[in-house]
Amino acid sequence: MRVVSLVPSLTEAVAVSAPGLLVGVTGWCTHPADLGDAVRIGGTKNPDVRAIVELRPDLVIANEEENRAPDLAALRAAGVQVLVTEVRDLAQAWAELDRVLVGALGLRRPAWLARAEAAWAAVAASEPPVDAFVPVWRRPWMVLGRDTFAGDLLARLGVRNVFAGHPERYPKVAAAELAASGCPLVVLPDEPYRFTAQDGPEAFPGIRAALVSGRHLTWYGPSLEEAPQVLAAALAQAL
């Protein structure tokens, strides 16, 4: 098959499971480091539809959150088959990975997927949970709200997102309001916004900051195998 992936985590999942299937990937697809001859076809939000069509893919894999509906509609109008994933929690991630890799691509269920499931099944969250907020953007400040994959992972690791009940999935919240939230912890991933020790923690004096890998917090693919250990270590360092 000829596959184009518009989702970095799915790019990694396909590339690790069946090297050679990918003929097109986005500029944000960074793992694995060697994607062979796969053509870069733009970003997740601005893919080059014409370039994708010219690659003659048998399947384009996308995500309802990461990719724009008009781009996917344009691909379908050009006769391209598009599979759109939806991932709001870990259980849904397992199901969607099975749907893409086994169902759509006809692969054997990869060993890394079973290992990742086992790694998360072994997680024992601390009690009581630690209250935190999780910025994902700055200028303006945006945080994880309700019904998010990253929020579910953190909950499994003993971190309670105080905005999990917000009506929006990624609400804009002023830094002053976040600083006055009373939370003992702020979790700062390095994507989609690249928070660092010098960019982020200073906005919340007196609140412990956990700098975590955005790939391990937000990607659903082979990174899930080591994510419990990587994220737990970063949280423990902050606490």
Residue 115 falls within a domain, yes or no?
no
172 pLDDT above the threshold of 80 = yes
The answer on 234 and 131 residing in a single domain is: yes
CA distances (Å), 168 to each of 56, 126, 143, 171, in order?
A: 38, 27, 10, 5
The answer on 87 and 48 residing in a single domain is: yes
Residue 202 falls within a domain, yes or no?
yes
The answer on 140 and 98 residing in a single domain is: no
Q: How many domains does the chain have?
A: 2
Q: Which amino acid is at 143?
A: V
The answer on 100 and 145 residing in a single domain is: no
Residue 116 falls within a domain, yes or no?
no
Q: What is the per-residue pLDDT across 19-70, written as a single tens digit (0 to 9) for each? A: 899 999 999 999 999 898 999 999 999 999 999 999 999 999 999 999 999 9
Residue 209 falls within a domain, yes or no?
yes
The answer on 130 and 102 residing in a single domain is: no
The answer on 136 and 233 residing in a single domain is: yes
Residue for token digits 């759509």?
104
Residue 215 falls within a domain, yes or no?
yes
Q: Strands (DSSP E) along 41-81, which ranges?
A: 59-63
The answer on 96 and 132 residing in a single domain is: no
Residue 46 falls within a domain, yes or no?
yes
| Distance, C-alpha 125 to centroid of its chain | 21
What local confidence, expressed as pLDDT, does residue 124 receive? 81
Domain boundary among 44, 77, 109: 109
Q: At 186, list the tokens.
A: 């702020």
Residue 217 falls within a domain, yes or no?
yes
The answer on 157 and 132 residing in a single domain is: yes
Domain span including residue 96 = 3-109
Q: What is the per-residue pLDDT across 189-224, written as a single tens digit (0 to 9) for each? A: 999 999 999 999 999 999 999 999 999 999 999 999
Q: Which amino acid is at 17?
A: S
Domain boundary among 65, 81, 109: 109
The answer on 99 and 142 residing in a single domain is: no
What's 231's domain CATH number?
Answer: 3.40.50.1980
Q: Whole-model pTM above 0.95?
A: no
The angle, 0 to 180 degrees and rounded to 10, between the axes of the packed helices 111-121 and 227-238 is 40
The answer on 156 and 101 residing in a single domain is: no
Closest of 226, 198, 228 to residue 211, by C-alpha: 198
